[in-house]
Structure 1
């Protein structure tokens, strides 16, 4: 949608929020991977805020997610009380501006600037992996401690997979997925079957951010989590949904500019080292470990197959969709070996 003047929408959103503070410039600082846009807004006094514009998903879910995140950021205890970027309020409510015309339904939210310390190195050593495992476990525990104080979340994993299956029966779905409908249905059947067997609905539900690539958070010099931003895939669900991206963060291959979503990092010894540190701090159950495979399956089906063309820019979406059908989905049953992890964790 390059023909849409997103900067004008952001300016309109700000003026509706507080037109007494004069904007002198708006700069697009988006990562250029997704269809979401991020802007730095500088005012006449040289102070600034961050604006995010999105037209991916549903407006109601966007508002719901940011309302939960804002409550989470206010309720988290030390050392995570300032970990999350906070959104601006107007009066007593989260401020979200909705822009609608015949071409676009888009939403803008404003964030207070958040301090950024060190970025993770592209490849971690074993001591860093262990420290990260402990830190992520402590953050998950902190989220668990306040889970009952947060607004309700309406999104579920089943809801998203059901939505994908409904899409297959539409004219769009019959065309878009025409060569892979049988494979998608096979994978969704496996997800439903294993989800029921593992009783995943009984797992504790906490806020999870899923996308933990190293450009989304910062750490201190002592390798403690310091700040986190970018909430594109936020939801309230099992903590296991966060762990696939952690396997990618600690992978032997390290962070790469050209990325894929292969399952192999889940099987690396480096990820097991991460899990040992995590498990020592916040123990996992056997069923949760077995659900790692289903969390990965869900990630591919939902964020790559169902939403890939809507979320990723075209060049990334085409690549990831091709790999999903040819590599990611067919590899799940062959490559994931739960016994290796269970043995390492003495489960």
Structure 2
């Protein structure tokens, strides 16, 4: 039986500030992810945003939101108002943990961010070039303040380790449509190539991974204006953002029915984006070569390991089946980093 999330939000708010009375809680979730987002309106008509989550580890949920809050506070202009800030109680980030019988749900409250211009579903070349510059400047700014952020305990390597542990469990939660031997092989390839490329030596910055067009807005001059939805946040090398950058600029554009194929990384439009990005914040050879492993990691971690949590069931099974049947086999032959290195003159 699904918990009553409206009640859990009210319990959480009572723990935060019982002097402000809730008038209504409205579900504004995207209906794709299993996370739940609500608009919480008070009797004085002011409101905040509540996010509920219950997958992964509570400690990681708190850790991620603590890092995001410090990042939001420390980002200088022109990104000082880009991120939504979570509510603080006293000197600490407020997170409410609701535990009852089999229910373990975590709640964090956000101040809503302003939203300006939503990009069109399919971008023009002008958009792609300007976004390349904007994402480069944002990454560069995140790099400049990376040493001011709380530490993060998650890495790509530890996440792949977690999937290997799930695979080896007798009562694994992975469905029968997932070939465990193939997952072991893909994990071994990731370990091997991560070591060969020395990816652990790449600088670590905050990355938001899921840069789909519905998660951010821009100004009238195409400057990054606001970003929300932090489900896939982590501290890692900047290349972890690039698969979704390729999807944003893809010729197919933003689709209601989607797949996570390697194709967007090979499009001329992504090359246009990379050239713009590279001219403002240069990439290096290791980073370009690591794109293949970043894509492999995305399939292993976000689609296979956590797909049933990140996506509603009808999406997760479809995406996992596509990964097993097509996407893993496309990694070795479907992407050639030499083409990108030549184009960027690296």
Q: Is the 8 A contact 2:178 2:324 kept in 1?
A: no
**What is the CA-CA distance between 1:340 and the residue it aligns to?**
1.0
> Which digits, 9 at most, give the CA deviation of each residue in 1:190-246, with x for residues without a partner?
111110111100000000000001111100011110000110010000000000000
Q: Is the 8 A contact 1:168 1:177 kept in 2?
A: no
| Alignment correspondent of 2:98 | 99
| Alignment correspondent of 1:130 | 129
Query: Counterparts of 2:307 and 2:101 in 1: how far apart (Å)?
Result: 23
Aligned-partner SS, 2:107: strand
Query: Counterparts of 1:179 and 1:52 in 2: how far apart (Å)?
Result: 30
Query: Counterparts of 1:217 and 1:131 in 2: how far apart (Å)?
Result: 15
| Alignment correspondent of 2:28 | 29
Query: Counterparts of 1:251 and 1:179 in 2: how far apart (Å)?
Result: 28
Could you say if the C-alpha distance between residues 112 and 178 of structure 1 is closer, same or farther in structure 2, counting changes exceeding 3 Å?
closer
**Is 2:286 the partner of 1:297?**
no
Q: How does 1:148-187 map to 2 (within 5 A)?
A: 148-173=147-172, 176=175, 180-187=179-186
Query: Counterparts of 2:3 and 2:143 in 1: how far apart (Å)?
Result: 41
Q: How does 1:37-52 map to 2 (within 5 A)?
A: 37-52=36-51
Residue correspondences, number: 346
List, as ranges, runs of 4+ consecutive aligned residues in structure 1 with deviation greater than 2 Å.
Answer: 172-179
**Is 2:306 the partner of 1:307?**
yes
| Alignment correspondent of 1:287 | 286
Query: Counterparts of 1:28 and 1:179 in 2: how far apart (Å)?
Result: 33
Q: Which segments of 5 or more consecutive residues in structure 2 lack a partner in the other structure?
A: none
Q: Is the 8 A contact 1:39 1:52 kept in 2?
A: yes
| Alignment correspondent of 1:147 | 146
| Alignment correspondent of 1:234 | 233
| Alignment correspondent of 2:187 | 188
Aligned-partner SS, 1:226: strand
Could you say if the C-alpha distance between residues 25 and 179 of structure 1 is closer, same or farther in structure 2, counting changes exceeding 3 Å?
closer
**Is 2:191 the partner of 1:203?**
no
Query: Counterparts of 2:333 and 2:105 in 1: how far apart (Å)?
Result: 41
| Alignment correspondent of 1:319 | 318
> Which digits, 9 at most, give the CA deviation of each residue in 1:51-107, with x for residues without a partner?
000002110000000000000000011000010000000000000000011221110
**What is the CA-CA distance between 1:179 and the residue it aligns to?**
5.3
Query: Counterparts of 2:268 and 2:171 in 1: how far apart (Å)?
Result: 42
Aligned-partner SS, 1:153: coil
Query: Counterparts of 2:325 and 2:96 in 1: how far apart (Å)?
Result: 40
**Is 2:212 the partner of 1:213?**
yes
Query: Counterparts of 1:172 and 1:266 in 2: how far apart (Å)?
Result: 36
Q: Is the 8 A contact 2:154 2:235 kept in 1?
A: yes
| Alignment correspondent of 1:77 | 76
Query: Counterparts of 2:236 and 2:101 in 1: how far apart (Å)?
Result: 35
Aligned-partner SS, 1:57: coil
| Alignment correspondent of 2:249 | 250
Query: Counterparts of 1:43 and 1:300 in 2: how far apart (Å)?
Result: 41
Query: Counterparts of 2:228 and 2:119 in 1: how far apart (Å)?
Result: 14
Worse-superposed segment, 63-72 or 176-185:
176-185
> Which digits, 9 at most, give the CA deviation of each residue in 1:271-323, with x for residues without a partner?
01000000000000001000011000000000000111122110011110110
Query: Counterparts of 2:132 and 2:286 in 1: how far apart (Å)?
Result: 19
- State TM-score, norm by structure 2: 0.98
Query: Counterparts of 1:329 and 1:184 in 2: how far apart (Å)?
Result: 9
**What is the CA-CA distance between 1:174 and the residue it aligns to?**
8.3
Query: Counterparts of 1:175 and 1:118 in 2: how far apart (Å)?
Result: 40
Query: Counterparts of 1:268 and 1:249 in 2: how far apart (Å)?
Result: 12
- State TM-score, norm by structure 1: 0.98
